[in-house]
């Protein structure tokens, strides 16, 4: 049976989606891992063009991505759930009774969340250039961390 990994964020159109695509790219098409992503809210929304462009630059193609709301069934059938932020980790513990690590915990052994744009820059609408830079830096961070995350997977599975 294949191992399964699920990345979780809020809306499933930024952090968890990027992690899913970075992981798929790192593992390659021959991998036996089942990789997915979901959101704790996942309200219908489109992928922001900045996210889409940067992910395409990296080699990911989220054009077929469909947002998914985290469900009990997903939690039950997934070997390793990785939360992008502390609020996601806490939500999963509270609502599904499952303790899960943060992305940076699996990748680097550090209890550090990956903040959403509005958490990192509450005034992002007044600083669109800074917002774009932050979004791109998060995508780069996730993409660059995934090879290390893969090497550390046996400790978490």
Write out pLDDT tens, residues 90-119: 999 999 999 999 999 999 999 999 999 999
The predicted structure's pLDDT at residue 1: 57
> Could you tell me the two tokens for 29?
């098409």
Q: Is the per-residue pLDDT at 18 higher than 60?
A: yes
Average pLDDT (77-98) is 97
Kindly indicate the confidence band of residue 34, based on its pLDDT and cuts at 50, 70 and 90. very high
Which distant-in-sequence residues (6+ apart) come within 8 Å of 53 by Cβ?
none
CATH of range 4-150; options 3.40.50.2300, 3.40.1170.10, 3.20.20.150, 2.60.15.10: 3.40.50.2300
The predicted structure's pLDDT at residue 151: 95
Which distant-in-sequence residues (6+ apart) come within 8 Å of 122 by Cβ?
none
The predicted structure's pLDDT at residue 49: 93
- The domain limits of the chain are 4-150
pTM: 0.96
Burial of 40 (0-12, 13-18, 19+ CB in 10 A): buried
The predicted structure's pLDDT at residue 43: 83
Residue 124 DSSP one-character state: G
């Amino acid at each position: 049976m294949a191992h399964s990994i699920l990345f979780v964020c809020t809306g499933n159109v930024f952090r968890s989606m990027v992690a899913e695509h970075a992981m798929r790219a790192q593992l390659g098409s021959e991998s036996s891992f089942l990789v997915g992503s979901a959101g704790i809210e996942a309200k219908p929304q489109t992928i922001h063009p900045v996210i889409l462009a940067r992910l395409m630059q990296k080699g990911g193609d989220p054009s077929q991505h469909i947002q998914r709301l985290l469900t009990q069934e997903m939690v039950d059938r997934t070997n390793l759930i990785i939360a992008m932020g502390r609020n996601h980790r806490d939500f999963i513990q509270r609502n599904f009774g499952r303790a899960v690590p943060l992305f940076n915990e699996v990748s680097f052994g550090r209890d550090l969340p990956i903040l959403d744009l509005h958490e990192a820059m509450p005034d992002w609408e007044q600083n669109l250039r800074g917002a774009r830079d932050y979004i791109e830096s998060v995508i780069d961070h996730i993409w660059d961390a995934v090879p290390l995350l893969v090497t550390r997977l046996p400790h978490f599975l």
